[in-house]
A and B are shown apart, each in its own frame.
Chain A
Amino acid sequence: MPPAVTNFVAEAAAAPEGAPSPIRQFLNARGSGGTADGVFKGVMLLCGLSIFGIVLFIFTILTVNSKLSLKQFGFHFFVHSGWDPVSGDFGALPFIVGTLETSLLALAMAVPLAMGVAIFLSELCPAKLRTPISFVTELLAAIPSVVYGLWAVFVLVPLMRDSLGPLLFKYLGWTHLFDGYNFGVGILTASIILAIMILPIISSITRDIMLAVPTSQREAVLALGATRWEMIRTGVLRNARIGIVGAVILGLGRALGETMAVTMVIGNHPEIAKSLFAPGYTLASVIANEFAEASGDLYLSALIEIGLALFLVTVVVNAIARALVWAVTRGAPARTI
Chain B
Amino acid sequence: MSTNPFHAPPPSDRDTLAQPPDHKSQWVRFNTARRYATNHLITGLAVLSTVLVIVPLVAILIYLIYMGASSLNLDFFTKIPAPVGETGGGMANAIVGSGIVLALASLIGVPVGIAAGVYLAEFGRGKLLAGAIRFTADVLNGVPSIVMGISIYALIVKPQQHFSAFAGGVALAVMMVPTIARTTEEMLATVPHAIREAALGLGVPKWRTVLSVSLKTASPGIITGCMLAFARVAGETAPLLFTAFGNQFWSFKLTEPIAALPLQIYVYAVSPYDEWHRLAWAGSLVLIVMIMVAVTLVRIYASRGVLKGAS
Residues on A close to B: CB < 8 A?
Answer: 30-33, 36-37, 39-41, 43-52, 54-55, 57-58, 61-62, 64-65, 112-117, 119-121, 123-125, 133-136, 138-151, 153-155, 196, 199-201, 203-205, 207-208, 227-230, 232, 250, 253-254, 256-260, 264, 284, 287-288, 291-292, 303-304, 307, 310-311, 314-315, 317-319, 321-323, 326, 332-337
A193 to B39, CA, bound (A): 32
Is B207 on the interface with A (CB-CB < 8 A)? yes
A143 and B235 in contact, given A49-B133, A116-B50 (Cβ under 8 angstroms):
yes
Contact A292 B235 (CB under 8 A): no
Contact B235 A146 (CB under 8 A): yes
Task: Give the nearest-CB partner of B122 in chain A.
Answer: A44
Contact B299 A135 (CB under 8 A): yes
Residues on B close to A: CB < 8 A?
Answer: 35-36, 38-39, 42-43, 45-50, 52-54, 56-58, 60-61, 63-64, 111-113, 115-116, 118-120, 122-124, 129-130, 132-133, 135-148, 150-151, 153-155, 158, 174, 177-178, 181-183, 186, 203-208, 210, 228, 231-232, 234-238, 241-242, 245, 262, 265-266, 269-270, 277, 280-281, 284, 287-288, 291-292, 294-296, 299, 305, 307-311
Contact B139 A139 (CB under 8 A): no
Contact B47 A229 (CB under 8 A): no
Contact A51 B177 (CB under 8 A): yes
B119: which of A31, A33, A45 is its contact (CB, 8 Å)?
A45
For A307, the chain B residues whose CB sits under 8 A away are: 146-147, 150-151
For B54, the chain A residues whose CB sits under 8 A away are: 117, 133, 136
What would 30 A/B residue contacts be, using CB atoms closer than 8 Å? A40-B206, A41-B119, A48-B129, A48-B181, A51-B133, A51-B178, A52-B132, A58-B143, A58-B147, A58-B148, A61-B154, A65-B158, A123-B46, A139-B292, A143-B235, A144-B262, A151-B64, A196-B57, A196-B60, A254-B142, A257-B147, A284-B144, A284-B146, A291-B241, A307-B151, A314-B144, A318-B143, A335-B307, A336-B142, A336-B310
Residue from the set B46, B61, B155, B270 with the largest chain A CB neighbour count within 10 Å: B46
Contact A141 B309 (CB under 8 A): yes
Contact A142 B295 (CB under 8 A): yes
For B204, the chain A residues whose CB sits under 8 A away are: 32
Contact B146 A257 (CB under 8 A): yes
For B307, the chain A residues whose CB sits under 8 A away are: 335
A31 to B210, CA, bound (A): 13
For B111, the chain A residues whose CB sits under 8 A away are: 47
For A253, the chain B residues whose CB sits under 8 A away are: 142
For A136, the chain B residues whose CB sits under 8 A away are: 54, 57-58, 61
Q: State how many angstroms separate the Cβ of A320 from the closest Cβ of chain B.
A: 10
Q: State how many angstroms separate the Cβ of A274 from the closest Cβ of chain B.
A: 27
Contact A144 B291 (CB under 8 A): yes
For B280, the chain A residues whose CB sits under 8 A away are: 150
For A125, the chain B residues whose CB sits under 8 A away are: 50
Beyond A48-B133, A257-B142, 9 additional contacts (C-beta under 8 Å) are: A64-B154, A65-B154, A116-B46, A116-B49, A120-B49, A143-B291, A292-B245, A314-B143, A335-B307
For B144, the chain A residues whose CB sits under 8 A away are: 256-259, 284, 310-311, 314
Q: State how many angstroms separate the Cβ of A158 from the closest Cβ of chain B.
A: 13
B57: which of A120, A200, A288 is its contact (CB, 8 Å)?
A200
For A334, the chain B residues whose CB sits under 8 A away are: 308-309
B130: which of A48, A117, A254 is its contact (CB, 8 Å)?
A48
